[in-house]
């Protein structure tokens, strides 16, 4: 457990006069590597720059960065920032708190934390060295915090923050209202990130093509808390989305994008308008997350013509009783016809399932396994590592953490209850399972593992064949150039001979 530092967690004074505030944005190392720049930091970075700040980003969780803590240390020394802002998720919170204790205990720098974990547990962050927590959507809050940095605004007047006051008490200012018009926000500052931290070969540039076109999810699944964007669905205009896509395409050569919205297909009118605009970009393709009920005979062809190549669908379980209990509220009888509709339109399906719901026995778990087997011919990919994780702030965490014993599991190096890894795809787990239940979970993960490896092998073979074709085309092109060069040379020789012959005739004619 990380030591509590709340006793000396009073906000340091800022002395910024007649210059731009220097702000360092940090994303601590996480169990999962970032294969693309974190969009939340890209957005906050854009807001800070609009506010006149000097901004630098260190993503210690970037896939190709192996020395994240050292980079952060170097950035602190080189930049000497006035403020440091940290993005907190469940997976990096322990690392973040350790970094705070290691790197900032001797520095008199205000620390601001944002992100989903800080939004759910602001007091925890404040008790581990953070001075200010920006809860929920952070852009407008960040803009007002810039005014605080410049001495123009008091913290007590800024909605959406939590902080420790001078008397040592924690203050939670009122929640900030969600941004209604997302077009008023700047485009993410992708240029703050070094592409070499995320991909080493051009083919991997697809990973940088992540876009959020909407915010808010109106659904209420018990395994999801959605503390940042909330439940009210809001969306950007097609023009704003296209502007970001064109910027990414021009800067990085990206022509395949991933919409990472929580609920991309929620509003049908908006969806059809966006699809109509994206049709005008014929060289662009994209993937998205969608609810099953939003895919039908109207939306699927429209999305395909707009460039959709893969649809990610959350199914979670084959048991209607479990779906009702987690409030997933989908009709399983519509799944296979929808998968057939996607295949008919040339769109890959990627399905999400969860294993190990604590109220299911082994045989009930195997119902989902058999369902997955049945869906394999219609599915390109299944999510890997889908054992239930009780994230803080979710209903399933609140219901079980006391009785099962995983309270604040993210503050420890979590181990399974019996220290036995469950499966290579997901070794850790949180609920108690008997041996037959563990076997059922492993069987489901094995089905997914085998299916995805087979699909990956098939794709590799397709890629190998494509490479062979590319090589052959290059050889033909090179041979064409060689033949053209030979033809040109031979033609040139013939023309020289003809010209010499003509000159000879002309010379003979002049002599006569």
Instruction: Give pLDDT, residue 51.
Output: 95
- pTM (2 decimals)? 0.84
Cα 443 from Cα 388, distance rounded (Å): 15
User: pLDDT value at position 2?
Assistant: 43
Task: Give the separation between CA 276 and CA 190, rounded to whole angstroms.
Answer: 26
CA atoms in the 13 A half-sphere facing the CB of 409: 22
pLDDT tens-digit readout, 99-157: 999 988 788 899 999 999 999 999 999 999 999 999 999 999 999 999 999 999 999 99
Q: Is the pLDDT of residue 74 over 70?
A: yes
Q: Considering the chain, what is the average pLDDT of its residues?
A: 88
The tokens describing 94, both together, are 């322990």
Whole-number Cα distances in Å, 202 to 32, 190, 224, 293, 349: 22, 17, 35, 36, 25
Cα 236 to Cα 267: distance, rounded to the nearest angstrom: 12
Interval 326-383: pLDDT, tens = 999 899 999 999 999 999 999 999 999 999 999 999 999 999 999 999 999 999 999 9
pLDDT at 491: 60
59 compared with 485, residue with greater pLDDT: 59
Going by C-alpha positions, the residue among 350, 378, 356 that lies closest to residue 369 is: 356
DSSP 365-396: HHHHHHHHHHHGGG-SEE-S--B----TTSHH
Task: Indicate the SS3 state at residue 5.
Answer: coil
Tell me the pLDDT band of 35, cut-offs 50, 70 and 90: confident
Residue with tokens 């390109």: 380
351 vs 372: CA distance, rounded Å: 9
Q: Is the pLDDT at 5 greater than 90, yes or no?
A: no
DSSP 18: S
Maximum Cα–Cα distance for the chain, whole Å? 120
At 477 the pLDDT is 60
Q: 441-496: per-residue pLDDT in tens?
A: 999 999 999 999 998 875 554 455 555 555 555 665 665 565 555 555 566 666 66
Tokens matching residue 131? 């001075």
CA atoms of 28 and 95, how far apart (whole Å): 6
Using the predicted structure, report yes or no on whether residue 512 has a pLDDT greater than 50. Answer: no
**What DSSP assignment string belongs to 267-321?**
-HHHHHHHHHHHTT-TT-EEEEEE-GGG-STTHHHHHHHHTEEEEEEEEE-S-HH
The answer to whether the beta carbons of residues 317 and 326 sit under 8 Å apart is yes
User: What counts of helices (H) and strands (E) characterise the chain?
Assistant: 14, 15
Distance CA 278, CA 436 (A): 49
Between CA 496 and CA 162 the distance in angstroms is 87
Look up tokens 């009888």; give the residue.
Answer: 333
């Amino acid at each position: 457990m990380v030591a509590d530092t709340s006793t000396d967690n009073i906000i340091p004074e800022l002395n910024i006069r007649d210059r731009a505030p220097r702000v360092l944005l940090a994303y601590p190392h996480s169990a999962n590597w970032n294969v693309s720049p974190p969009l939340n930091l890209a957005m906050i970075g854009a807001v800070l720059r609009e506010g006149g700040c000097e901004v630098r980003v260190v993503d210690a969780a970037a896939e190709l960065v192996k020395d994240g803590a050292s980079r952060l240390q170097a950035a602190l020394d080189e930049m000497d920032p006035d403020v440091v802002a940290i993005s907190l998720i469940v997976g990096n919170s322990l690392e973040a708190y350790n970094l705070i204790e290691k790197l900032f205990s001797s520095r008199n720098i205000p620390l601001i934390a944002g992100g989903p974990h800080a939004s759910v547990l602001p007091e925890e962050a404040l008790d581990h060295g953070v001075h200010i927590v920006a809860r929920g959507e952070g852009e407008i809050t960040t803009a007002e915090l810039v005014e605080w940095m410049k001495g123009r605004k008091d913290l007590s007047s800024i909605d959406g923050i939590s902080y420790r006051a001078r008397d040592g008490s924690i203050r939670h200012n009122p929640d900030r209202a969600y941004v209604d018009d997302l077009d008023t926000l700047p485009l993410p500052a992708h240029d703050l990130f070094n592409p070499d931290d995320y991909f080493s070969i051009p083919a991997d540039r697809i990973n940088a093509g992540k876009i959020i076109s909407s915010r808010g999810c109106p659904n209420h699944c018990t395994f999801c808390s959605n503390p940042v964007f909330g439940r009210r669905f809001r969306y950007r205009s097609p023009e704003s989305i296209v502007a970001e896509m064109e910027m990414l395409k021009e800067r990085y050569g990206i022509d395949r994008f991933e919409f990472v919205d929580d609920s991309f297909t929620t509003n049908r009118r908006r969806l059809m308008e966006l699809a109509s605009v994206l049709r005008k970009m014929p060289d662009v393709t994209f993937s998205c997350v969608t609810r099953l009920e939003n895919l039908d005979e109207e939306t699927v062809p429209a999305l395909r013509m707009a460039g959709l190549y893969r649809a990610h669908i959350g199914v979670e379980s084959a048991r209607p009783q479990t779906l009702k209990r987690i409030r997933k509220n989908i009709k399983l009888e519509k799944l296979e016809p929808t998968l057939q509709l996607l295949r008919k339109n040339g769109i890959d399906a990627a399905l999400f399932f969860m294993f190990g719901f604590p109220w299911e026995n082994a045989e009930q778990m195997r119902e989902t396994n058999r369902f997955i087997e049945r869906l394999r011919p219609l599915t390109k990919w299944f999510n890997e590592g889908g054992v239930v994780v009780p994230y803080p702030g979710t209903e399933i965490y609140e219901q079980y953490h006391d009785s099962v014993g995983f309270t604040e599991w993210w503050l420890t190096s979590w181990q399974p209850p019996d220290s036995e890894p469950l499966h290579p795809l997901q070794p850790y787990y949180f609920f108690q399972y008997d041996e037959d239940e563990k076997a059922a979970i492993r069987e489901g993960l094995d089905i997914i593992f085998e299916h995805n490896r087979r699909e990956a092998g098939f794709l590799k073979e397709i890629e190998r064949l494509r490479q062979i074709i590319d090589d052959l085309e290059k050889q033909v092109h090179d041979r064409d150039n060689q033949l053209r060069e030979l033809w040109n040379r031979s033609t040139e020789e013939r023309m020289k001979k003809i010209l010499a012959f003509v000159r000879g005739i002309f010379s003979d004619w002049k002599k006569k």
